[in-house]
Amino acid sequence: MRVYLSVDMEGVAGVAHPAQTTFGGERGDDRTDYDRSRRLMAGEANAAIAAAFDAGAGEVVVNDSHWQMRNLRAEDIDRRARLIIGDKPFSMTQGIGAEGDGQGYAAAAFIGYHAGAGHRTGVIGHTYAGVVLEARVNGVPHNEAGLNALRLGQHGVPVILVSGDDALAGEVEQLLPWAERVAVKRALAANVAESMSPEVACAEIRDGMSRALGRLSEMTPYTPHGSLRLEVDLRLPIMADYCAVIPTVERIGPRSVAAEPADAEALFATFLTIVRMALVPS
């Protein structure tokens, strides 16, 4: 059994403010908070890795899915796992499709994830980048977990566990109701959380992964029926100007664009292209 982990940082226990998730921010070269968050991120990843191996996994592959995607230090990760690190064309799902090794995965887990853009209390809530106000698939708002699960579903991989704050858990319940949800902190406001201690959070993640793999036969890949329509509301009209240049994308409003891709793989690629084009004039 092969297990895929996509690991973000904003949803990790003990993280509540953007300054904790990047370096070179409001305190210049002070990396203390960011380096602490890197350790916390590795701790939660290792909790999921250990539980997967305890449940019989033969291999666990970890995709560093935060920011510039070189946050996890190889020496901090369980030696039994493999780590995908670097600036990746397929971002938070790198290694799943044709760019992977072709061996496939029995299951995936999303660790340290966060609520989508616009959530009232979701801690550091966003959807891939600050240029996105909302992303919808067939009229339903999708956060990063939902969009990523769509691509994984195209390749037959079910998302069995998602960890982060309780705001994320509520969104995941609507999109991926079969998945185990582990809330390691309570979202009080955009940059405020009531958090478990890292030790307790890691124990909860281990237990959640154990439960999820114990229910693997009940898990299902996320594959919506029928045709797909992607709509993305962007922060500024000029961003929609740039995105509307993409041949498969149409302008549907002052700040909004849409596409009707052939499948989830194309939807995911189109969404990433929209985000990257919108970042050009931002």
pLDDT, tens digit (0-9, with 9 covering 90-100), for 132-144: 999 999 999 999 9
**Per-residue pLDDT, 23:** 85
Q: 230 has which bridge partners? A: 137, 259
Pair of tokens at residue 281: 């004039």
CA separation for the pair 169, 177 (Å, rounded):
10
Per-residue model confidence (pLDDT) at position 102: 86
CA 119 to chain CA centroid, Å, is 15
Query: Residue ranges of the chain with pLDDT lower than 50?
Result: 29
Q: Which amino acid is at 103?
A: Q
CA 262 – CA 63 distance, rounded (Å): 26
pTM: 0.97
How far apart (Å, rounded) are the C-alpha atoms in residues 132 and 218? 33
Closest C-alpha to 163, from 121, 120, 198: 198
Roughly what angle, to the nearest 10 degrees, separates helices 32-54 and 198-214? 30
Topology of domain 2-127+144-218, CATH: Rossmann fold (3.40.50)
Residue partners of 103: CB distance under 8 A and separation at least 6: 2
Whole-Å CA distances, 121 to 135, 136, 168, 191: 18, 20, 10, 8
Diameter over CA atoms, the chain: 52
What are φ and ψ of residue 270, in 5° steps?
-65, -40
How far, in Å, are 132, 178, 220 from residue 163 at the CA level?
22, 14, 18
What are the start and end residues of each CATH 3.40.50.10780 domain in the chain? 2-127+144-218
pLDDT attached to residue 26:
54
> What is the spatial distance between Cα 212 and Cα 37, in angstroms, rounded to a whole number?
26
C-alpha span between 11 and 196 (Å, rounded): 12
Tell me which residue of 45, 49, 155 sits closest to 106, measured CA to CA.
155
**Contact (Cβ atoms closer than 8 angstroms) between residue 172 and residue 179:** yes
